[in-house]
Amino acid sequence: MDRLLLFPISTRVERDSLTIAGHDLASLSAEHGTPLYIYDRATLDASAQSYTDALTAHYPASAHITYAGKAFLCKAIAQWTQEHDFFIDCTGEGEIKIAVAAGVPREYILVHGVNKSIDDLKAAIEHAGTVVVDNITELERIHLLIINHQPPFPNFWLRLLPGIAVSTHHAHTQTGQHDSKFGMTREEILVAAIFCNENNLPLTGIHFHQGSNFRDPEPLIPAIELALDLAKEIGFKGEWHFCPGGGWGIAYHEDELPNPSIDSYVRGVAEAVIEGCRRRGLELPHLHLEPGRSLVARAGVAIYRVGAVKKRGDKTWLLADGGMADNPRFALYGARYSCLPVSGVGRERSERVSVAGPYCESGDIIIEDLPMPKIQEGDLIAIPVAGAYHLSMSSNYNGARRPAVLMLEAGKAKLIVRRETTDDLLKRDTKI
Ligand SMILES: Cc1ncc(COP(=O)(O)O)c(C=O)c1O
């Protein structure tokens, strides 16, 4: 399958060079510098529409998409979620404040977190419509905070640890297995439900999330069954909420194409929920899905300039000007990527290259052993599927300044996040 299919849907090759939404990537890099991240608005909108269409087609009751902000959140992306009527999943005070600054209303903010601090909980109580409670201690803390607080309060959902993981490429992207740090066991959920009942905390839903970047929805089915059993036992009345998390996968490398179908994922979940509720005599819940990666990953492209090329044994290293500081996914869990040169795209892929960054870690790698046309020092390369879990996990390692981010539409290249400067680096600390 062709590597171009990994890139945003508005990507074209013109005069053997890459363009996205009609913008020439070489010119954007000259104007804004590298490393540079771009997001293609058309790809963002198309993936959002796929989810909305699939929910409309397969689920007869009310339903909502909650964008998992951990994939990538800034004010512009938060605004984009509102254009699609999506909720935003915010992990902690920082992400809550970004959503608030973008004008996201309370009922559209949902808060997650495995060990929410008091400040996280205070921000959630002040700004969120829903808090997904991870553990009983958190619930007790919420109760104490709410006693001294005026309504409105958020609604509360309980996060179940189903004890069933989805299949992902690495254990570090699984969250549903029995020994995971996330969520509550079946027994803990029942204790938490009694606590809510006794303390008048509005318990309105149940949630679980089994892992990230899976493409086989099969393990969702027993987890949905387990969660519906609990819903029945808790005895939700009237409108209640059910969220089997996010995590639907996407292709990062041409040998993983075609992309897993959003429609078949949503259909599978919807059918299991409808059938499971029918068997238990439960009213259909308000169904929520919580995707991050499958909404934004393909819309993003990272552009790097290759500063040096080194031959070492059988290996050809392309040394790029970005790496683990803007994309730690290889270092964290061996993520795979592909890439194309920005110019001379159609040339024969005559070399096998590995791409590494400028940082002082041998694990500062982006790509291992990929067929590529010959790349010379000074050339630009474009890494597709860079829209999720790059910038949201970026760092200042080695004094790196986080890259600029552009949103591209036909005739418009808007700088949505400016590049960090050395002044930004110096702002927080002081001399002794
Ligand atoms: C609770 C929760 N919901 C949703 C997601 C989104 O996962 P993805 O971006 O793979 O769709 C995550 C990711 O880890 C998560 O922890």
Range 233-245 average pLDDT: 94
Print the SS3 string covering 271-334.
Answer: HHHHHHHHHHCCCCCEEEECCCHHHHCCCEEEEEEEEEEEEECCEEEEEECCCCCCCCHHHHHC
CA atoms within 13 A on the CB side of 284: 16
What's the confidence (pLDDT) of residue 249?
96
Residue 291 beta carbon below 6 angstroms from any ligand 1 atom:
yes
pLDDT-above-70 percentage for the chain? 100
- Does the pLDDT value for residue 401 go beyond 60? yes
State pLDDT tens for residues 80-102.
999 999 999 999 999 999 999 99
Q: Which residues pair with 159 in a beta bridge?
A: 207
State pLDDT tens for residues 265-292.
999 999 999 999 999 999 999 999 999 9
- Does the pLDDT value for residue 419 go beyond 90? yes
Q: Which atom of ligand 1 is nearest to the CA of 388?
A: 9
Dump the DSSP string for 180-238: -SSSB-HHHHHHHHHHHHHTT--EEEEE---BSSB---TTHHHHHHHHHHHHHHHT--S
| Terminal alpha carbon distance of the chain | 57
Q: What is the rounded distance in angstroms from the CA atom of residue 93 to the CA atom of residue 107?
A: 16
Q: Please, are residues 246 and 209 in contact by the beta-carbon 8 Å criterion?
A: yes
Q: Structural domain boundaries of the chain? A: 3-33+299-427, 42-296
Range 58-67 average pLDDT: 98
Range 31-52 average pLDDT: 98
State pLDDT tens for residues 159-174.
999 877 767 777 887 7
The correct CATH number of 3-33+299-427 out of 3.30.70.20, 3.30.465.10, 3.90.1310.10, 2.40.37.10 is 2.40.37.10
Kindly report the number of other CB atoms within 10 A of residue 257's CB atom: 14
Q: Please, are residues 391 and 70 in contact by the beta-carbon 8 Å criterion?
A: no
Confidence class for position 181, pLDDT limits 50, 70, 90: confident
Residue 360 a catalytic site member: yes
What's the confidence (pLDDT) of residue 166?
67
Residue 288 beta carbon below 6 angstroms from any ligand 1 atom:
no
- Please report, for residues 72, 156, 314, 400, 422, the alpha-carbon distance to residue 425 in angstroms, rounded to integers and kept in the order given: 21, 38, 39, 9, 5
What's the confidence (pLDDT) of residue 414?
98
What's the confidence (pLDDT) of residue 11?
98
Q: Please, are residues 34 and 380 in contact by the beta-carbon 8 Å criterion?
A: yes
Compute the mean pLDDT over every residue in the chain, rounded to the nearest whole number.
Answer: 96
Q: Which residues pair with 275 in a beta bridge?
A: none
- Does the pLDDT value for residue 1 go beyond 70? no
Confidence class for position 179, pLDDT limits 50, 70, 90: confident
- Please report, for residues 2, 24, 129, 265, the alpha-carbon distance to residue 286 in angstroms, rounded to integers and kept in the order given: 39, 43, 15, 17
Q: Please, are residues 89 and 110 in contact by the beta-carbon 8 Å criterion?
A: yes
Fold of 42-296: TIM Barrel (3.20.20)
Confidence class for position 335, pLDDT limits 50, 70, 90: very high
Q: What is the rounded distance in angstroms from the CA atom of residue 78 to the CA atom of residue 88?
A: 7
Residue 293 beta carbon below 6 angstroms from any ligand 1 atom:
yes
Q: Which atom of ligand 1 is nearest to the CA of 297?
A: 9
Range 363-390 average pLDDT: 97
Q: Which residues pair with 194 in a beta bridge?
A: none
Ligand 1, residues 167, 209, 252, 393: which to mutate, most atoms within 8 A of Cβ?
209
Range 198-215 average pLDDT: 93
Range 311-332 average pLDDT: 96
Question: H or E element: which one contains 146?
Answer: helix 136-147
pLDDT-above-90 percentage for the chain? 91
> Among the options 90, 196, 243, 360, which is catalytic?
360
Kindly report the number of other CB atoms within 10 A of residue 401's CB atom: 18
- Does the pLDDT value for residue 211 go beyond 90? no
What's the confidence (pLDDT) of residue 358?
98
Confidence class for position 354, pLDDT limits 50, 70, 90: very high
Confidence class for position 114, pLDDT limits 50, 70, 90: very high
> Whose C-alpha lies nearest to ligand 1, atom 16?
209
Q: Which atom of ligand 1 is nearest to the CA of 211?
A: 14
Question: H or E element: which one contains 370?
Answer: strand 365-372
Q: What is the rounded distance in angstroms from the CA atom of residue 317 to the CA atom of residue 352?
A: 9
- Does the pLDDT value for residue 186 go beyond 70? yes
Q: Please, are residues 317 and 309 in contact by the beta-carbon 8 Å criterion?
A: yes
What's the confidence (pLDDT) of residue 171?
80
Measured in Å, residue 46 CA sits from the centre of ligand 1 at 20
